[in-house]
């Protein structure tokens, strides 16, 4: 009886797993195809909801499928009479594909509106300076060139976030010498590992209608925030020490004992000359023309030398 109950529970579990497969990850390309079918069936609101869902689930690898979503999302908004959202969707389309064309089999009125938005977006050149790497903790400089009919641009905005952070932070770009610029405070890495920095730019007219974009919320521009590099110690620029031979010993004539001996000899010679110069030891009786002699007498203990 217990065996039958366990078998029945196992069978129910297997049937449930077959009839209710696990939910697959949303496919942006499949969403774009579904939007096309919904538009043909005049189900515009469902097409909008399907497009918004596709954008929420979009990942970096879905970038190639996003233009089709933006194109059909704008079309669905326009057919619902929501021209501001239609324009915003198409401007995002042109940010990813500047040569985009309207959907096929649409009314001349929709095609004309699409082309007008395309002309307006092409007339404003929003060209950001490439940003590849950002050192951690250093200020981040975002710059962009604004050309074309820039006079129509009333405000420009920077939307940025750390990768996976959720909502974007918005900051207004300042106009500097015909360009746009914003300086952000240094970014910090919580775990010390490199992370992505995502951002996109937006130019609007006086009514807040988007005119041009660089990147989009779902396909932003990207850079890498890198931790500080541990640089190796820089070698000194001073020349390497030169091996010099040990100093030679001073010459003998520089020794103290040499000059001491010389001084002793000089003193002795001076004393001898002074002695004889003053007549010391000269004979009393000398005849002219004779050299004075010196008598040497060696006296012994019992035989002294005679006195002279």
Residue 148 lies in a domain: yes
The reply to whether 155 and 112 lie within a common domain is no
Predicted pLDDT of residue 149: 76
Is pLDDT of 13 > 80?
Answer: no
Q: What is the mean pLDDT of the chain?
A: 79
The reply to whether 69 and 152 lie within a common domain is no
Q: pLDDT class for 287, splitting at 50, 70, 90?
A: very low
pLDDT, tens only, 215-262: 999 999 999 999 987 654 545 555 666 666 666 666 655 666 666 776
Residue 213 lies in a domain: yes
How much is the average pLDDT of 109-132? 92
The reply to whether 112 and 34 lie within a common domain is yes
Residue 113 lies in a domain: yes
Predicted pLDDT of residue 148: 79
- This prediction's pTM: 0.63
Predicted pLDDT of residue 164: 82
Q: Could you give the percent of the chain with pLDDT greater than 70?
A: 67
How much is the average pLDDT of 189-209? 91
Predicted pLDDT of residue 271: 67
Residue 19 lies in a domain: no
How much is the average pLDDT of 300-306? 53
Residue 91 lies in a domain: yes
Residue 115 lies in a domain: yes
Q: pLDDT class for 139, splitting at 50, 70, 90?
A: very high
The residue out of 125, 152, 179 marking a domain boundary is 125
Residue with the larger pLDDT of the pair 287 and 158: 158
Q: pLDDT class for 286, splitting at 50, 70, 90?
A: very low
Is pLDDT of 20 > 60?
Answer: no
How much is the average pLDDT of 153-169? 92
How large is the angle between the packed helices 83-96 and 108-123, nearest 10 degrees? 60
How many domains in the chain?
A: 2
Q: What is the CATH number of the domain that holds 216?
A: 2.60.40.10
Predicted pLDDT of residue 53: 94
Predicted pLDDT of residue 165: 84
Between 6-20, 157-171, 174-188, the lowest mean confidence (pLDDT) is in 6-20
How much is the average pLDDT of 194-202? 95
The residue out of 191, 226, 261 marking a domain boundary is 226
Predicted pLDDT of residue 136: 94
The reply to whether 216 and 138 lie within a common domain is yes
The reply to whether 116 and 159 lie within a common domain is no
Residue 210 lies in a domain: yes
The reply to whether 34 and 114 lie within a common domain is yes
Is pLDDT of 134 > 80?
Answer: yes
How much is the average pLDDT of 126-138? 93
The reply to whether 121 and 168 lie within a common domain is no
Q: What is the CATH number of the domain that holds 117?
A: 1.25.40.10
pLDDT, tens only, 51-64: 999 999 998 889 89
Residue with the larger pLDDT of the pair 174 and 229: 174
Residue 142 lies in a domain: yes
The residue out of 189, 210, 226 marking a domain boundary is 226
The reply to whether 48 and 119 lie within a common domain is yes
Predicted pLDDT of residue 11: 43
Structural domain containing residue 172: 126-226
């Amino acid at each position: 009886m217990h065996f039958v109950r366990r078998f029945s529970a196992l069978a129910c579990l297997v049937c449930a797993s077959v009839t209710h497969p696990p939910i697959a990850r949303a496919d942006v390309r499949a969403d774009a195809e579904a939007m096309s079918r919904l538009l043909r069936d005049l189900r515009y609101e469902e097409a909008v909801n399907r497009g918004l869902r596709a954008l929420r689930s979009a990942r970096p690898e879905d970038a190639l499928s996003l233009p089709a979503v933006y194109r059909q999302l704008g079309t669905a908004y326009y057919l619902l009479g929501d021209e501001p959202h239609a324009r915003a969707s198409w401007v995002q389309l042109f940010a990813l594909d500047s040569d985009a064309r309207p959907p096929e089999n649409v009314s001349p009125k929709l095609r004309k509106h699409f082309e007008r938005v395309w002309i307006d977006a092409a007339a404003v050149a929003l060209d950001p300076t490439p940003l590849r790497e950002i050192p951690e903790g250093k200020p981040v400089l975002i710059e962009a060139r604004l050309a074309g009919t820039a006079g129509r641009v009333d405000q420009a905005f920077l939307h940025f976030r750390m990768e996976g952070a959720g909502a974007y932070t918005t900051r207004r770009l300042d106009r500097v010498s015909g360009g746009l610029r914003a300086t952000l405070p240094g970014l910090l890495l919580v775990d010390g590992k490199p992370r992505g920095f995502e951002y996109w730019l937006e130019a609007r007219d006086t009514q807040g209608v988007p005119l041009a974009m660089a990147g989009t919320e779902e396909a932003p521009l990207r850079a890498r925030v890198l931790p500080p590099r541990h640089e190796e110690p820089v070698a000194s620029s001073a020349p390497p020490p030169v091996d010099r031979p040990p100093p030679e010993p001073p010459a003998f004539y520089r020794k103290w004992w040499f000059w001491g001996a010389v001084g002793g000899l000089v003193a002795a010679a001076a004393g001898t000359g002074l002695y004889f110069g003053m007549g010391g030891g000269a004979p009393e009786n000398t005849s002219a023309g004779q050299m004075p002699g010196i008598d040497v007498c060696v006296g012994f203990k019992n035989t002294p030398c005679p006195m002279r």
